[in-house]
Amino acid sequence: MDDLDLDRELGLDLIPAPVSVREVPPSGRYVLDEETRVEARPGTEGVARWLRATVGAATGLPLAPGDDDDNRIVLAVDPALGRRLGPEGYRVVVDGHAVRVDGGGPAGVFWGAQTLRQLLGPAAFRRAPIGARTGWGIPMVAIEDAPRFGWRGVLLDVARHFLPKDGVLRYLDLLAAHKLNVLHLHLTDDQGWRMEIHRYPELTRTGSWRARTKLGHRASPLWDERPHGGYYTQDDLREIVAYAAERHITVVPEIDLPGHSQAAIAAHPELGNTDVVDTAALTVWDTWGISPNVLAPTDHTLAFYENVLAEVLDVFPSPFVHIGGDECPKGQWRASPTARARMAAEGLADEDELQSWFIRHFDRWLAERGRRMVGWDEILEGGLAEGATVSSWRGYAGGIAAARAGHDVVMCPEQQVYLDHRQAPGADEPVPIGYVRTLEDVYRFDPVPAELTETEAARILGAQANLWTEVMEDQRRLDYQAFPRLVAFAETVWSPLPAPAARDHPAFERRMAAHYARLDALGVDYRPPGGPHPWQRRPGVLGRPIEGAPPIV
């Protein structure tokens, strides 16, 4: 019997699937009750706080500190386990004496605690007890586990539609429940600037809201005439970062440049190509697509964004900082005497090299401050910036080229893991965007292209599922697009699955039947397996469906 069969036989239905599961004699269940203590050994104090705040709240058990030999949960960092499985590896052992959660590092202990929560059943995912219950039984098992990838990420686009701080904190809890460890926050775009910058208050005073919003795809005739906006203060973001760190999640900020910058130009017209367009007449963009209004290649623009990024670095301790670099139309630069003068002065052959000049400047600037730049795969155009990490979104090709050139890669191909794409071909699918990407399609995603050598494949840091919010106006729509597919994605980046075609999707669906109860307890408005609920539909709102199977590019 393999580990997944044993998982199913014992009724564990763990997601992501662990590396190893075995029964521990004697068979039966270990019961947590009012007397159960939590022994938090050095380095695990944060996990103990999380257990009391979440599992303790759901069960009503105090989980008080203590080291009662006969009734306790022991949390410990095990360096030997770390050497074997890495700092995120863990071991959970439930026997007749205690529940032991060991990790290769504090993060491993935390992921083991997440598995322990799953062993307690769906009710352990609620925020308060739902009935009188004196004990919580856990099967006698030993589980050993470690992630396949170190970057298991989700992009949350809060620029197109603002998600209030509480919604971001909620999503961090959802990521943690699925052992995902990177939140990429897309903070700026044409449609909104979401981070307070003390030196430039106009960025949020003007740039954080738009007068109205296109409903549906940009070809739709419909508008929401209500102003839309919002932003995070720096203290809000520090709170988000601290909340994430307690859950062993890194928050990677993105400040998009030189394209996707109309909100910044609306707030500070001098940042745009003033010798080509009347930038003072620009407003925060109210529709979707790619704005032609991009940053001017001037010393002032460089200094402005250096000042912005200095404040970003002060708030976000992430070793990685994302600067976008994607979808930058070159029309204004081609028409701009200022841009042509810059190209001549720098010895640049064309506008692609001018974009590369922008990117390389901030790559060097970040490197001098001990940070690593990440950019979308357009940063390959005009020459790859030294030291840059590539987010490969237009397919696998950019990631393959970057890995072969010795650069680190995060795989997030649009055709596979853009969760704004529709989940089914039916007419009831709300605001259908892009290709059909079913739960099974996402489950068969693999971040490592077969054509890479072992050395090249080692450059794949992991993968990321992206949630672009042009047609996700609130938390419920975000839930619908993310779940249950984000669950499948989480397994693909954590578990040692076979090749995509050999994966046992029916077995995954059987485990999902139990996991839907966990999502219900968490209050996630996911897409049901049979199709959307009536309130999840958006009849009459135009999308942009693409027919056929997505290409592997």
Residue 166 annotated in active site: no
117 touches 50 (CB < 8 A): no
Residue 189 annotated in active site: yes
* Cα–Cα dist 441/445, whole Å: 7
Identity at 220, one-letter amino acid code: S
CA nearest to 448, candidates 372, 500, 380, 384: 500
Catalytically annotated residue among 35, 246, 327, 440: 327
* Cα–Cα dist 325/377, whole Å: 8
* Cα–Cα dist 376/385, whole Å: 12
Residue 428 annotated in active site: no
Structure tokens at 240: 């988000």
Q: How many CB atoms sit inside 10 A of residue 9's CB?
A: 11
What one-character DSSP code corresponds to residue 550? P
258 touches 302 (CB < 8 A): no
380 touches 363 (CB < 8 A): no
In 128-275 the beta strands, taken as DSSP E runs, fall at 136-139, 141-145, 151-157, 182-186, 188-189, 192-193, 209-210, 213-214, 223-224, 228-229, 250-257
* Cα–Cα dist 222/473, whole Å: 14
CA nearest to 192, candidates 213, 214, 212, 207: 207
Catalytically annotated residue among 260, 361, 407, 421: 260
Q: Degrees (nearest 5) of the Cα angle 75, 77, 83?
A: 145
What one-character DSSP code corresponds to residue 90? E
Catalytically annotated residue among 88, 189, 473, 525: 189
388 touches 373 (CB < 8 A): yes
* Cα–Cα dist 334/325, whole Å: 18
CA nearest to 99, candidates 108, 112, 82: 112
547 touches 444 (CB < 8 A): no
Write out the catalytic residue numbers. 189, 260, 327
